[in-house]
Amino acid sequence: MRKKAILRTLAYADVFDYPLKENEIFRFLISNFQKELPTLSSEVSKKEGFYCAATSERSEVYFLKGRKRIVVTRKKRERWSREKLKIAKRVAGWLKLIPTIQMVAVTGALAMNNSEKEDDIDLLIVTSKKRLWLTRLLTVFLVELVSHRRRPQDKNVKDKICLNMFLDEKHLAVPKKEQDLFSAHEACQLKLLWDRNETYQKFVKENQWVKRYLPNWKP
């Protein structure tokens, strides 16, 4: 059972060319147990000495047999992601000027430091109750002034701000029809840039359904 859970977790990450550290395996494990990582020499490989610039730490990363190349992929994407996060943080700082914005977070690949060089920057924004459409209008206007906003017709989207999702603070739960493994990862992996009035904690509380898919995850 443990073996299958780890393989499922690594296989899911492999879809995104993303080898996992041991603590990441357990944090995003698609099952529920808290024991040591078992030996899976026939299906899983590891590379020691993986350096993470964000934490200045070296660790082991695990991946499916024959997929060693994704270790190099993760390193490159971490480097590109660092530059994109600088842009995201700068834009989020400007968005504080809009009083009806309660939270700004990065979503998608960038939230896991796994962006491609040509990717855009996905933002999730939580608004005050009954102020979603007004806030959206103000946000679009401000982003146009301080950065480059992605438009639907854009072919070159590198480093552009994609206003990916807006949520009203009174409607933070992911709709039931969208509650699946992919959405669970999106909710758990988002990278908070800032919030007001503990909005992020409210978001976590309203989305406890993620435990059905990722029971070991903690904010």
Q: Where are the domains of the chain?
A: 2-72, 76-212
Q: What is the mean pLDDT of residues 141-169?
A: 95
121-140 pLDDT per residue, tens: 999 999 999 999 999 999 99
Q: What is the pLDDT of residue 48?
A: 85
Distance between CA atoms of 108 and 102, rounded to whole angstroms?
A: 20
User: For residue 4, what pLDDT band results from cuts at 50, 70 and 90?
Assistant: confident
pLDDT at residue 191 tops 90: yes
Q: What is the pLDDT of residue 2?
A: 76
Q: What is the mean pLDDT of residues 92-120?
A: 97
CATH topology of domain 76-212: Beta Polymerase; domain 2 (3.30.460)
Write phi, then psi, for 191 (nearest 5 degrees): -105, 110
Q: What is the pLDDT of residue 88?
A: 98
Q: In this structure, which amino acid lies at residue 216?
A: N
Q: What is the mean pLDDT of residues 156-164?
A: 96
Name the average pLDDT for the chain. 92
Q: What is the mean pLDDT of residues 204-219?
A: 95
pLDDT at residue 105 tops 90: yes
Distance between CA atoms of 69 and 187, rounded to whole angstroms?
A: 28
Q: What is the pLDDT of residue 28?
A: 94
User: 140: which 2 tokens?
Assistant: 């679009």
Q: What is the mean pLDDT of residues 12-32?
A: 91
Dihedral (CA of 72, 74, 78, 84) sign:
positive
29-87 pLDDT per residue, tens: 997 655 556 666 678 898 887 877 666 678 889 999 999 999 999 999 999 999 999 99
Closest CA relative to residue 209, chosen from 182, 186, 176? 176
